[in-house]
Amino acid sequence: MVKISVLQHAPSVHLPARPGDPTPTTRNLDPLMHPFARARERNRALNAAKMDKLFAKPFVGALEGHIDAVEVLCKKPGSLSAVASGSWDGGVILHNVSERKHIRRIQGAHKGKVSGLCFAQDDRLLSCGVDSKIKLWDASPQDDITEQRPLNEYPGKSPFNSIDHHRSDPLFATASNIVQIWDETKSAAISNLTFPTSTETITSVRFNLSETSVLGSIGSDRTFTLYDIRTGKAERRVVMQMSSNALAWSPTFPTNVLLASEDHNLYTFDVRQLKSPTHIYKGHVAAVMSCDWSPTGLEFVSGGWDRTVRIWKEGQGTGPEVYHTKRMQRVSSSIFTADARFVLTGSDDGNVRIWKAKASEKLGIITARERAAIEYRDTLKDRWKHDNEVGRIQRNRHLPKPVYQAAKLKRTMLDARAVKEERRRKHTRAGERKPNAERKKLVITEQT
């Protein structure tokens, strides 16, 4: 009798475990059996980088309604879709971003421009303007979206430039010629915070997200100041080379603060050591007007006078994502949404625009198979980012012609300045000591 040996395979090993899963495959992992694996992987990384640029369509839509420049934007804490915008026409609009509809529309909320907005507790909205008034509005959805009467009104003595609400208490801070602390239940300021010998106009004020009794402000005399509402006075102040236009506290590192400067750069400071910035972010070719952190603390957005929006990775001072359109004018405000997937910007043309935080991200339902492919391509791009061709494609940014020419001119001027400084050091006694690092030149003096 002939003995026959039979190879038996269980069919279940070769079938997907669940509906929709990829069919399992067996593979010999011996690298000697796959001599072209590395070349094949590089080719896939190159294609992934190209596809990223090919499908980059960051613009999602626009929220209309204002008839003048949008000056300020703020998002509602704990909500993914509620955003308020204030304009130079004195109007305030509450938007539902997901449905692209108006929740409330307040025409003529202030005489002159609306300079500050922030949400209070219990579906309420605080606004301030150059008419020296602070108004408290009902921000809950209603049938009549054009209801005009404020819940409360707080008169001030000078025009307000910024407002921010305490995270848990019924307190808010305003910026004018001084920083004032207000209680929602009182009609006058309960505390005035100022630095001795200070005469500047405060342009922006923000409460720290973690240490909620600490707040920071920036002023027209090139200063950044830290206050403590428990002591009722300014604690520390630094004077810089150029003035700042906006500040934002990091949501994940309570001691980190981001400043948008008039010198085209952004700076992050650790408030425990204010002698020099921890990072410098270079890319804009005009004054940076606004900045805001992503809720993850890993990236932030900035909008500038050069009519571009840039999304930066924390710790990487160059090569941000650049968004622009032909109709978008100077960007005066920019914020991240609470889910870190979208960015909203307000500009001089009266539009609030919605952008994707990741330009090539697919919107809509993504299957498990698609998600696995996306993660695989991202891993490949990260692994091969130092390859010449893959890196060149990833670093490439399309810029409008005026921005490109301005960047080219700026680069030429900076190179000429560096050559001049080197020659001065070479032929004078200035060369006897080491040159100062750029971050050491930013802060002129620190005062306590």
CA dist., res. 237 & res. 231, Å (int): 16
Average pLDDT over residues 180-201: 85
Instruction: Give me 72's structure tokens.
Output: 């300020």
Q: What is the pLDDT of residue 139?
A: 86
Has residue 77 got a pLDDT over 80? yes
Q: What is the pLDDT of residue 146?
A: 62
Q: What is the pLDDT of residue 147?
A: 63
Q: What is the pLDDT of residue 249?
A: 95
Has residue 402 got a pLDDT over 70? yes
Query: Among 161, 232, 246, which Cα is nearest to 194's?
Result: 232
Q: What is the pLDDT of residue 319?
A: 85
CA 308 from centroid of its chain's CA atoms: 13
Confidence grade of residue 433 (pLDDT, cut at 50, 70, 90): confident
CA dist., res. 154 & res. 184, Å (int): 9
Of the two residues 295 and 429, the one the predictor is more confident about is 295
CA dist., res. 160 & res. 175, Å (int): 6
Instruction: Give me 383's structure tokens.
Output: 């692994």
Residue 110 amino acid letter: H
Has residue 144 got a pLDDT over 70? no
Has residue 1 got a pLDDT over 80? no
Confidence grade of residue 285 (pLDDT, cut at 50, 70, 90): very high
Count the neighbouring beta carbons within 10 Å of the beta carbon of residue 333. 24
What would the pLDDT profile of 162-176 be if each residue is shown by its tens digit?
Answer: 999 998 889 999 999
Q: What is the pLDDT of residue 358?
A: 93
Confidence grade of residue 29 (pLDDT, cut at 50, 70, 90): confident
Q: What is the pLDDT of residue 145?
A: 62
Total residues belonging to the chain: 448
Among the residue ranges 22-26, 132-136, 431-435, the one predicted with the least confidence is 431-435
Confidence grade of residue 233 (pLDDT, cut at 50, 70, 90): confident
Residue with tokens 């996306």: 374
Instruction: Give me 32's structure tokens.
Output: 């000697």
Q: What separation in angstroms does the CA of 166 have from each of 213, 242, 363, 430? A: 8, 29, 34, 49
Has residue 432 got a pLDDT over 80? no
Average pLDDT over residues 389-411: 94
Has residue 260 got a pLDDT over 90? yes
Has residue 50 got a pLDDT over 90? yes
Has residue 431 got a pLDDT over 80? no
| Three-state DSSP string of 258-293 | EEEECCCEEEEEECCECCCCCEEEECCCCCEEEEEE
Q: What is the pLDDT of residue 182?
A: 92
What would the pLDDT profile of 357-370 be if each residue is shown by its tens digit?
Answer: 999 999 989 999 99
Of the two residues 190 and 198, the one the predictor is more confident about is 190
Confidence grade of residue 197 (pLDDT, cut at 50, 70, 90): low
Has residue 31 got a pLDDT over 80? yes
Q: What is the CA radius of gyration of the chain?
A: 27
Has residue 372 got a pLDDT over 70? yes
